[in-house]
Structure 1
């Protein structure tokens, strides 16, 4: 299990699905608001908003909710003064962790993120204290049934992408950050809208952790992901199949 797979292999361990869905909607709505605020309400002319709308649709967010969030953002509604903040630190086993947030209160979010780190065997550092362990990349995700891996790889290369990772569920295409929209446009012409398109982080190398370290790290990641302000968590760890089997038993 790789850290940049966004924790998906153990998400089934989370209970309270309704609560989880509400939190997902909160994060998506916040992204819709800030995307519309920064780039306007026209998704065709605003790549970030277009990606946010697509992510909301994938999550089955009602159309009215999406439209209201866009109007709020484009209208500059009071109370929507969100800032993008990146928190960095180390988890159990020396794993590097990045938490990206959208917050309207830096002090509150910093305190909550620091608590999530410290209560689970980690330590919050300064900005750029662990970012050197990762590459900043564009990421475009398609469902695996859109195309065979060979066909997707060929199309990705033709569009200017750097790499492709395929698994049982998705194709993830990696690009240079400044080529994200160009590559996305090329792939859309052939496969339609992607499931997700964003700037992300990919670890340069990973650290294998044992069962005890994994338990602490997963608790920390869950605590961070449960925070409404935190949009995404990335970490550079690997967990063996044997350890995962024990944790899922």
Structure 2
């Protein structure tokens, strides 16, 4: 695995899960509220909200928290957030795309720029690296969903574009426009996914050496820890051997 998924697994092994879970719930709540404000507050009528709610459920977020986030949008309460994308380079020439939901562009831009500059990176202009990525639908299943053959067959039947299976789980890619349809079809055969989202898939990946890997992961960590940052995508590959050395 590479990019965001790889980083997520490293952080899981490192621990500090209570803090991470609290921050994750906060970000999921923000996405639910934004999705509900942008469309109908009913997940069945609002595809983006349905995605947000399903991802919250997959993360074991309490139902009360989910409903509270929807109610906040219905009552037009809370801050108004806007979607912002930042692009830049990390150590080793790695390309990074940072997606944020913010109520203060200046604060978020300053925080993101600081994270890049303190961790061997450079923040670029919008469009600086996204030309090297494709906007795709991403569906993730745990290994327990089935073996590689079963998941591949289900993905083909559902109309997916590609499947990547490892011992950690299954990554299924779709056309951006087909994400909801494919996810719905897969749910009938494989059950509920771990996550369903729009993603940035790199056209070419960069193998990161040991000298740059530690600094790169600190950069991604710093970005991921920011309350406004929803997701960090990258085009990097880090070998298992290097992960063992730096991931503890």
TM-score (norm 1): 0.94
Q: Which residue in 1 is equivalent to 2:243? A: 244
Conservation of the 8 A alpha-carbon contact between 1:116 and 1:224 = yes
> How far has the Cα of 1:179 moved from its partner?
1.0
Aligned ranges for residues 1-249 of structure 1 at < 5 Å? Answer: 2-12=2-12, 14-77=14-77, 79-249=78-248
- CA gap of 1:32–1:8, structure 2 versus 1, over 3 A, is same
Conservation of the 8 A alpha-carbon contact between 2:151 and 2:190 = no
Question: Structure 1: where are the runs of 5+ without partners?
Answer: none
Deviates further, 220-229 or 137-146: 137-146
- For residues 59-114 of structure 1, the C-alpha deviation after alignment (integer angstroms, 9 at most, x for no partner) is 2222111101001113322x321001110000001100011000010010000000
Secondary structure at the counterpart of residue 171 of structure 2 = strand
Deviates further, 238-247 or 88-97: 238-247
- CA gap of 1:169–1:246, structure 2 versus 1, over 3 A, is closer
The structure 1 segments of at least 4 consecutive aligned residues displaced by more than 3 Å after TM superposition are 12-16
Deviates further, 95-104 or 185-194: 185-194
Secondary structure at the counterpart of residue 36 of structure 2 = helix
- For residues 223-242 of structure 1, the C-alpha deviation after alignment (integer angstroms, 9 at most, x for no partner) is 00000100000111112233
Secondary structure at the counterpart of residue 80 of structure 2 = coil
* Cα RMSD (Å): 1.6
> How far has the Cα of 1:7 moved from its partner?
0.7
Number of aligned residues: 248
Q: Distance in 1 between matches of 2:62 and 2:188?
A: 26
> How far has the Cα of 1:181 moved from its partner?
1.4
- CA gap of 1:238–1:6, structure 2 versus 1, over 3 A, is closer
- CA gap of 1:6–1:230, structure 2 versus 1, over 3 A, is farther
Secondary structure at the counterpart of residue 111 of structure 1 = helix
Question: Structure 2: where are the runs of 5+ without partners?
Answer: none
> How far has the Cα of 1:15 moved from its partner?
4.7
Conservation of the 8 A alpha-carbon contact between 2:88 and 2:97 = yes
